Protein backbone atom coordinates (compact mmCIF):
# COMPACT_ATOMS: atom_id res chain seq x y z
CA UNK A 1 0.00 0.00 0.00
CA UNK A 2 1.06 3.55 -0.69
CA UNK A 3 0.38 6.41 1.70
CA UNK A 4 -0.23 9.95 0.50
CA UNK A 5 -1.06 13.05 2.52
CA UNK A 6 -2.73 15.95 0.73
CA UNK A 7 -3.53 19.45 1.95
CA UNK A 8 -7.19 20.16 1.23
CA UNK A 9 -9.02 23.46 1.69
CA UNK A 10 -12.68 23.88 2.57
CA UNK A 11 -13.27 20.90 4.84
CA UNK A 12 -14.97 22.31 7.92
CA UNK A 13 -17.22 19.79 9.64
CA UNK A 14 -18.11 16.15 10.10
CA UNK A 15 -20.20 16.16 6.94
CA UNK A 16 -17.12 17.21 4.97
CA UNK A 17 -15.13 14.41 6.59
CA UNK A 18 -17.78 11.90 5.56
CA UNK A 19 -17.93 13.25 2.00
CA UNK A 20 -14.20 13.02 1.42
CA UNK A 21 -13.59 9.75 3.24
CA UNK A 22 -16.65 8.21 1.58
CA UNK A 23 -15.62 9.27 -1.92
CA UNK A 24 -12.17 7.74 -1.47
CA UNK A 25 -13.61 4.58 0.02
CA UNK A 26 -15.68 4.25 -3.17
CA UNK A 27 -12.40 4.19 -5.08
CA UNK A 28 -11.08 1.39 -2.90
CA UNK A 29 -8.77 3.62 -0.85
CA UNK A 30 -8.74 4.14 2.89
CA UNK A 31 -8.73 7.81 3.89
CA UNK A 32 -8.54 9.77 7.11
CA UNK A 33 -9.35 13.47 7.24
CA UNK A 34 -7.70 15.72 9.81
CA UNK A 35 -9.91 18.81 10.06
CA UNK A 36 -7.46 20.52 12.41
CA UNK A 37 -4.70 20.84 9.85
CA UNK A 38 -6.80 20.52 6.70
CA UNK A 39 -5.29 17.32 5.41
CA UNK A 40 -6.32 13.95 4.05
CA UNK A 41 -4.12 10.89 4.48
CA UNK A 42 -4.89 8.19 1.95
CA UNK A 43 -3.73 4.58 1.89
CA UNK A 44 -4.15 3.05 -1.54
CA UNK A 45 -2.86 0.49 -3.98
CA UNK A 46 -0.76 2.44 -6.48
CA UNK A 47 -1.11 -0.38 -9.01
CA UNK A 48 -4.87 0.20 -9.11
CA UNK A 49 -5.36 3.89 -8.33
CA UNK A 50 -3.55 7.03 -9.42
CA UNK A 51 -2.82 10.13 -7.38
CA UNK A 52 -4.71 12.13 -9.98
CA UNK A 53 -7.84 10.00 -9.47
CA UNK A 54 -7.61 10.61 -5.72
CA UNK A 55 -7.26 14.37 -6.20
CA UNK A 56 -10.16 14.42 -8.65
CA UNK A 57 -12.40 12.51 -6.24
CA UNK A 58 -11.71 15.06 -3.50
CA UNK A 59 -12.25 18.01 -5.84
CA UNK A 60 -15.50 16.46 -7.10
CA UNK A 61 -16.79 16.70 -3.53
CA UNK A 62 -16.25 20.45 -3.70
CA UNK A 63 -12.88 20.87 -1.98
CA UNK A 64 -9.58 22.25 -3.22
CA UNK A 65 -6.45 20.12 -3.17
CA UNK A 66 -3.62 22.60 -2.73
CA UNK B 1 -46.97 32.70 9.45
CA UNK B 2 -44.53 33.59 12.19
CA UNK B 3 -40.90 34.45 11.52
CA UNK B 4 -38.14 33.66 13.97
CA UNK B 5 -34.41 34.21 13.66
CA UNK B 6 -32.08 32.14 15.83
CA UNK B 7 -28.33 32.37 16.33
CA UNK B 8 -26.83 28.93 15.79
CA UNK B 9 -23.24 27.87 16.37
CA UNK B 10 -21.37 25.19 14.47
CA UNK B 11 -22.81 25.55 10.98
CA UNK B 12 -19.84 25.76 8.66
CA UNK B 13 -20.60 24.47 5.18
CA UNK B 14 -23.25 23.62 2.63
CA UNK B 15 -23.83 20.23 4.22
CA UNK B 16 -24.72 21.97 7.48
CA UNK B 17 -27.11 24.27 5.63
CA UNK B 18 -28.84 21.25 4.10
CA UNK B 19 -29.04 19.46 7.45
CA UNK B 20 -30.66 22.36 9.26
CA UNK B 21 -32.95 23.51 6.46
CA UNK B 22 -33.94 19.89 5.76
CA UNK B 23 -34.76 19.12 9.39
CA UNK B 24 -37.00 22.19 9.64
CA UNK B 25 -38.66 21.41 6.34
CA UNK B 26 -39.55 17.99 7.79
CA UNK B 27 -41.42 19.86 10.53
CA UNK B 28 -43.37 21.85 7.97
CA UNK B 29 -41.39 25.05 8.44
CA UNK B 30 -39.46 27.00 5.85
CA UNK B 31 -35.91 27.83 6.92
CA UNK B 32 -33.01 29.78 5.51
CA UNK B 33 -29.51 29.48 6.95
CA UNK B 34 -27.09 32.39 6.78
CA UNK B 35 -23.63 30.89 7.25
CA UNK B 36 -22.00 34.33 7.28
CA UNK B 37 -23.63 35.44 10.50
CA UNK B 38 -24.48 32.02 11.92
CA UNK B 39 -28.23 32.40 11.90
CA UNK B 40 -31.33 30.54 10.83
CA UNK B 41 -34.50 32.38 9.85
CA UNK B 42 -37.58 30.22 10.12
CA UNK B 43 -41.09 30.87 8.80
CA UNK B 44 -43.62 28.66 10.51
CA UNK B 45 -47.22 28.30 11.62
CA UNK B 46 -47.21 29.02 15.36
CA UNK B 47 -50.52 27.20 15.74
CA UNK B 48 -48.86 23.97 14.62
CA UNK B 49 -45.23 24.25 15.66
CA UNK B 50 -43.52 25.54 18.81
CA UNK B 51 -40.28 27.46 19.08
CA UNK B 52 -38.98 24.71 21.35
CA UNK B 53 -39.61 22.09 18.65
CA UNK B 54 -37.67 24.22 16.17
CA UNK B 55 -34.75 24.62 18.56
CA UNK B 56 -34.74 20.89 19.31
CA UNK B 57 -34.72 20.00 15.61
CA UNK B 58 -31.65 22.19 15.07
CA UNK B 59 -29.88 20.81 18.13
CA UNK B 60 -30.66 17.25 17.04
CA UNK B 61 -28.63 17.95 13.91
CA UNK B 62 -25.65 18.67 16.14
CA UNK B 63 -25.69 22.47 16.37
CA UNK B 64 -26.04 24.81 19.31
CA UNK B 65 -28.87 27.34 19.44
CA UNK B 66 -27.44 30.22 21.48
Domain range summary for chain A, segments of one domain joined by +: 2-65
pLDDT at position A2, please? 97
pLDDT digits (tens, 9 = 90+) for B16-42: 999 999 999 999 999 999 999 999 999
Residue B62 contacts A, CB cutoff 8 Å? yes
Q: How far is B12 from chain A (nearest CA, A)?
A: 6
Query: ipTM of the assembly?
Result: 0.76
**How confident is the model at residue A7, as a pLDDT?**
98
The share of chain B scoring above pLDDT 70, in percent, equals 100
Beta strands B2-9 and A39-44 are: unpaired
Contact state of A15 with B15 under an 8 Å Cβ cutoff: yes
CATH class given for the domain over B2-65: alpha beta
CB contacts < 8 Å between A and B, how many?
Answer: 17
Cβ-proximal residues to A49 (8 Å cutoff; 6+ apart), any chain: A27, A28, A29
CB B54 within 8 A of CB B24: yes
Q: What is the pTM of this model?
A: 0.86
Span A26-56, pLDDT tens digits: 999 999 999 999 999 999 999 999 999 999 9
Give the pLDDT mean for B36-51. 97
What is the mean pLDDT of the segment spanning A13-33? 97
Amino acid sequence: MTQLTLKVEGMSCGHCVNSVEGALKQLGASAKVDLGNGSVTVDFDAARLSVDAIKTAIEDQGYDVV
